[in-house]
Amino acid sequence: MTKTNSEALITNGIRTDQRQITDLRNIEIEVGLLDKANGSAYLIWGKNKILAAVYGPREVHPRHLAKPDRAFIRCRYHMAPFSTDERKHPAPSRREVELSKVIRMALEPAILTDLFPRTGIDIFIEVLQSDGGTRCASITAAAVALADAGIPLRDLVVGCAAGKIEGQIVLDLNDVEDQKGDADVPIAIMPRTGAISLLQMDGLLTQDEFRQALDLAIQGCMTVYDIQKEALTKKYIQLEITPPASDTPEEPVTSDTPDAPDTLDTLKESSKNEEEVSE
Ligand code: ADP
């Protein structure tokens, strides 16, 4: 990293990336950009760039992994070799294996797995560029990709961290703050119920500081939740209201054409039909 140990992380309440202590980094989410996956999302969170793709529910291979009463969830978190300052070995590290499990466990409570016995849902997360907080960003992106795949969810899952640097509780640590700070508390929640599906802590905090960090991380999650919903709404509301192009011939309406698509799946289907018509 470019910072030296003597450089301050907070000067007059402003952090090294010009944020105030309770500011999130800039976040953008694009939904459904991959054609081959059933659902996908691309998330830019500060300098983090993360792609999430979801397949399923589909047949499980190897078959012995299938669960008789629910879908089997598999998750792979992977950092691209070019995602870090020094080239990262492409093989999965212990950290990536652990994060794959942690992210799966954070997402699983939201998925109605019992609706799809003997099937599998695969979640692939590729970190294209990393700058601290990739587990929270990955959970956030993967939840949107699951929704885009039309998989029934109790709620979206949203991740965000708070921590302590130079004695102050701050929101959403970047890589330098994570490395040089005193503590990091990444969490994931299902905002509708407030259920926490990930809670980790690195470093030392007093009970009061922990409570403050947790409250701040929850606030951060609620802001990110709005961005998730906005990204999904942008894609699916646009599909719903886009009128057919006036210069294309009208497609004969078949008996199974839905009058009022009301699920993500049917919306996606009708969008595909529209695309085919305009080609
Ligand atoms: P998180 O990304 O969830 O904060 P960590 O605390 O383990 O997870 O990692 C913090 C940051 O350290 C990552 O976001 C990334 O920028 C950097 N990092 C992680 N692994 C490596 C690695 N193998 N090489 C270089 N940087 C790494």
Mean pLDDT throughout 76-92?
96
pLDDT at 278: 43
Distances (CA, A) of 200 to 88, 135, 175, 189, 203: 24, 11, 17, 12, 10
Q: Report how far ligand 1's centroid is from the alpha carbon of 85 (Å).
A: 10
pLDDT at 244: 67
Mean pLDDT is lowest, of 94-98, 166-170, 242-246, 262-266, for 262-266
For 123, the 3-state DSSP assignment is strand
Mean pLDDT throughout 239-247?
67
pLDDT at 247: 53
Cβ(38)–Cβ(150) under 8 Å?
yes
Beta-ladder partners of 114: none
Distances (CA, A) of 2 to 25, 48, 171, 211, 228: 19, 17, 22, 32, 32
Question: Does residue 250 surpass a pLDDT of 90?
Answer: no
pLDDT at 266: 42
Does the beta carbon of 155 sit less than 6 angstroms from any atom of ligand 1?
A: no
pLDDT at 241: 72
Does the beta carbon of 87 sit less than 6 angstroms from any atom of ligand 1?
A: no
pLDDT band, very low/low/confident/very high, at 43 (cuts 50, 70, 90): very high
Q: Report how far ligand 1's centroid is from the alpha carbon of 260 (Å).
A: 45
Mutation choice for ligand 1 from 86, 130, 187, CB with most ligand atoms inside 8 A: 130
Q: Report how far ligand 1's centroid is from the alpha carbon of 173 (Å).
A: 12
pLDDT at 272: 47
C-alpha span between 69 and 52 (Å, rounded): 26
pLDDT at 274: 45
C-alpha span between 25 and 134 (Å, rounded): 13
Cβ(15)–Cβ(164) under 8 Å?
no
Residues in the chain, how many? 279
Question: Does residue 132 surpass a pLDDT of 90?
Answer: yes
**With b meaning 16 or more CB within 10 Å and e meaning fewer, what string describes 157-192?**
bbbbbbbbbeebbbbbbbbbbbebbbbbbbbbbbbe
Cβ(204)–Cβ(183) under 8 Å?
yes
Question: Does residue 233 surpass a pLDDT of 90?
Answer: yes
CATH number 3.30.230.70 given to 25-241: yes
Cβ(110)–Cβ(153) under 8 Å?
yes
Mean pLDDT throughout 270-274?
46
**Residue pLDDT, tens place only, 143-174:** 999 999 999 999 999 999 999 999 999 999 99
**With b meaning 16 or more CB within 10 Å and e meaning fewer, what string describes 39-65?**
bbbbbbbbebbbbbbbbbbeebeeeee
Cβ(213)–Cβ(162) under 8 Å?
yes
Which residue CA neighbors atom 10 of ligand 1 most closely? 132
Task: Work out which ligand 1 atom sits closest to the CA atom of 48.
Answer: 14
Domain residue spans of the chain? 25-241
C-alpha span between 266 and 35 (Å, rounded): 16
pLDDT band, very low/low/confident/very high, at 5 (cuts 50, 70, 90): low
